[in-house]
Structure 1
């Protein structure tokens, strides 16, 4: 751990296909917040932002990154943390009071974020429960986001890491194995199940790992050669080309008398893979959406697709509060750590973020890590 500098270095995307570092004032932490020296800032949706320069409600050209791990360098009096604590930072700044928060559910679904009534889920950017609200409530000019040398984090969104869990493996705790851990828990994936995964990116790879960890057999729908090879290395039962005329027959050959998968995880949000994940489920199966392309509609038949087959369809963004302990225990499993080593295919200094984003756009990659201290 280094002594905290009195400035902060943050990543910016000022225009399409341009990534640049900017010097900002050192973060200011109010009560209930800590300052974390970020060790790993994983790439999530920033590749798309880099290409299109279109932002979601919780980020902006100078506010990027919602995942991360690091070391606490500053606390406030009365904090339950100490400088030197190694931690994972979960995304958001939930209210801790609403139904969602008090039931241990997912913080990005906190009622403090007014999704309802806004197109594309574009809630107001400065709501306190969102990441942009973190700097606002602290009167800080930087630190609310993960792609920075120093991050300002709400204590209730920070968890100490076990001593035997490296930053490299712990950094998978958000949008790789974290959101998919909650998806697997909510879907009830168990030993003996057959799980179908379509639209495979790094989240789909995380869904594969979570299903395997629970003793399920995994069938993957995909055509990207690089990512399908990663799936094979993880140990899936079958990789099926969703464009093959007999793709569904191939799924049924794996699932036997059930004639479909018990659970399907869809990671792209595109109709192409949604159609196939829906068709590939058995009756009484569960479809869990882990990806989206916007707020456009998707057509299903209430009778034919949902009621006659009794399909359950749900989705979500992140890790439930109640799942954090189990998630960290899973990340300490040597087998899971081996899968993370397979899924994380590229690591770049944050000073070379543009190269990282270009790699993400090729899709010949799994999860990509940025190192903000380099």
Structure 2
């Protein structure tokens, strides 16, 4: 099968790998759609996050079951979206549905005794059946694939916080995750304020429903947020991982407000008295959805097809991944999807 790999600084190519093998409860997926997330950081800067390696890229995918073990709940031909990661499936957190917070993740290649299959930028992948969610009839696979990092992280944190139509939500880091947060917040009826540096993403955020998008280079953003809200926002969600934006989120919430941190990099000093005790604030870390929320998330996606189409700004065949990486590196995109069989 064909697999994308990074071959050097700002260089990539397709390579051949053996088709994956499956064992235990794993299924073989023919990857039809592979959304792009933070892999461009490895391409551009040589920084490998999460499970990324030069020859193993991509953690989001949707496709068709090509093979399944006997007795599996899935059958060849089923259309599914595969949720991110390889949690153990047996710990307390996994049993409660919080698979993304599993502390005892497994190596899929070791489980399946396979030479390949752990990444999405490839024609085939292997996934535990429990993480493969059936896609409703009539839903395009590229829309369903937004249930991964495109919409999943912000959907999950907003469910935990309980965001509703009475809330004003600040979103910092309007990239492929933060822009999905605009869709989620607007679906819940909330008012959204965004912070973005790039004109392309600021305009896209407005198109998706942001009431205001502030450029942090144009004056004191904290004071502008206070002026817009009459004191502060109810909820702030950071999708950037940048300490200055994380600090802004804490400073921008009103008393009894909540901050959700989604981006993994970053280091922040928190003043316990001023930031937490006096404000009565809640700081929350979150990754993806709870497994039980996969169905509700797909139902939401089915109800906002026009927003999903605007959110997916670019589509490329896998052999043009270099162009996709360059566009991501310029921040001139929303969500980009790759098609491994095109």
Match of 1:358 in 2: 326
Aligned 8 A contact 1:177 1:210 in 2: yes
Unpaired runs of 5+ residues, structure 2, are none
Q: Which of residues 151, 165, 173 in structure 1 aligns to 2:125?
A: 151
Task: Confirm whether residue 99 of structure 1 aligns to residue 92 of structure 2.
Answer: yes
Match of 1:196 in 2: 170
Unpaired runs of 5+ residues, structure 1, are 1-7, 114-127
Q: CA deviation at 1:59?
A: 2.5
- Report the 3-state secondary structure (helix = DSSP H, G, I; strand = E; otherwise coil) of the residue aligned with 2:255: strand
Write the mapping of 1:216-365 to structure 2, written as runs, cut at 5 A.
216-256=190-230, 259-294=231-266, 297-333=267-303, 336-365=304-333
Q: CA deviation at 1:41?
A: 0.5
Tell me how large the CA RMSD over aligned residues is. 1.4
Tell me the alpha carbon deviations over residues 66-108 of structure 1, each in whole angstroms, 9 at most, x when there is no partner: 1010011111111111111110001122122212111111x22
Write the mapping of 1:87-166 to structure 2, written as runs, cut at 5 A.
87-105=80-98, 107-113=99-105, 128=106, 133-166=107-140
Aligned 8 A contact 1:242 1:276 in 2: no
Tell me the alpha carbon deviations over residues 329-365 of structure 1, each in whole angstroms, 9 at most, x when there is no partner: 11111xx221111111111111011111011000111
Q: CA deviation at 1:166?
A: 0.8
Write the mapping of 1:26-41 to structure 2, written as runs, cut at 5 A.
26-41=19-34
Return the alpha-carbon distance in structure 1 between the equivalents of residues 102 and 333 of structure 2.
32
Q: CA deviation at 1:42?
A: 0.7
Write the mapping of 1:156-195 to structure 2, written as runs, cut at 5 A.
156-195=130-169
Q: CA deviation at 1:229?
A: 0.3
Worse-matched range after superposition: 242-251 or 38-47: 242-251
Task: Give the aligned length.
Answer: 342
TM-score (norm. length: structure 2) = 0.96
Aligned 8 A contact 1:38 1:70 in 2: yes
- Report the 3-state secondary structure (helix = DSSP H, G, I; strand = E; otherwise coil) of the residue aligned with 1:49: helix
Tell me the alpha carbon deviations over residues 266-310 of structure 1, each in whole angstroms, 9 at most, x when there is no partner: 11111221122211111110111121335xx31121111111111
Q: CA deviation at 1:53?
A: 2.4
Q: CA deviation at 1:46?
A: 0.8
Q: CA deviation at 1:57?
A: 4.8
**Pair 1:36–1:79, CA change in 2 (3 A):** same
Return the alpha-carbon distance in structure 2 between the equivalents of residues 10 and 38 of structure 1.
11
TM-score (norm. length: structure 1) = 0.88
**Pair 1:252–1:93, CA change in 2 (3 A):** same
Return the alpha-carbon distance in structure 2 between the equivalents of residues 300 and 176 of structure 1.
29
- Report the 3-state secondary structure (helix = DSSP H, G, I; strand = E; otherwise coil) of the residue aligned with 1:370: strand
- Report the 3-state secondary structure (helix = DSSP H, G, I; strand = E; otherwise coil) of the residue aligned with 1:62: coil
Return the alpha-carbon distance in structure 2 between the equivalents of residues 255 and 310 of structure 1.
19
Aligned 8 A contact 2:6 2:43 in 1: yes
Aligned 8 A contact 1:27 1:150 in 2: yes
Aligned 8 A contact 1:164 1:332 in 2: no
Aligned 8 A contact 2:247 2:268 in 1: no
